[in-house]
Amino acid sequence: MSSGNTAVATCFAESQLSDQLVIVGGMSVWSLCEHHMLPMNLQVAAGYVPDGEVVGLSKFGRIAQHIAGRLQVQERFTRQLAEHLADVIGRKDVAVAVRGAHLCMSMRGVRREDARTTTVHTGGRFATDPVLNHQFVTLAAAQWNAA
């Protein structure tokens, strides 16, 4: 999985863990909107279900930061982060929710400083299990509401 500056995820064997929802939130990254060349701040929450191993928690933020380091749109960032995490765990059981504040909306045009855009990408069990999906979305949104 490593090439160039790609963040390498460390996984740790935990044979007794399965069917436990893990969400890493509170991650804030900055990227540049490829359409307007203005910054956007992305609040990220990512979840997965371990199956015999866990991902090193600090890697979530590093992977998000790496993907945000190029010109982006929030929708693509969300999908790329989910796909990268799915590659790391070797399964599609990943969900990513991103809440973005875009300076192109607050500084120019409509000038809506409080506007936020939310994107969610779900795969595997998160896409097929409505209870798991609801748990993830509820817990991810709670982190944003607490801030």
- 66 lies in some domain: yes
- 116 lies in some domain: yes
Neighbours of 4 (CB within 10 A): 5
Whole-angstrom distance, CA of residue 47 vs CA of residue 111: 33
Task: With beta carbons less than 8 A apart as the criterion, state whether 51 and 8 touch.
Answer: no
Task: With beta carbons less than 8 A apart as the criterion, state whether 12 and 66 touch.
Answer: no
Whole-angstrom distance, CA of residue 121 vs CA of residue 118: 10
- 124 lies in some domain: yes
Q: What is the pLDDT of residues 97-141, one digit of tens each?
A: 999 988 877 676 666 777 788 999 999 999 999 999 999 999 999
20 φ, ψ to 5°? -115, 125
Q: What is the CATH number of the domain that holds 118?
A: 3.30.1130.10
| Domain total of the chain | 1
Active-site positions read 33-36, 74, 102, 104
Q: What is the pTM of this model?
A: 0.85
- 2 lies in some domain: no
- 4 lies in some domain: no
- 94 lies in some domain: yes
- 5 lies in some domain: no
- 1 lies in some domain: no
Q: Can you give the residue range of the structural domain that contains 85?
A: 11-146
Whole-angstrom distance, CA of residue 42 vs CA of residue 26: 10
State the maximum Cα–Cα separation within the chain, in Å, rounded to a whole number: 53
Q: What is the pLDDT of residues 35-60, one digit of tens each?
A: 878 899 999 999 999 887 878 888 89
Give DSSP secondary structure letters for 80-133: HHHHHHHHHHTSS-EEEEEEEEEHHHHTSTT--TT--EEEEEE-THHHH-HHHH
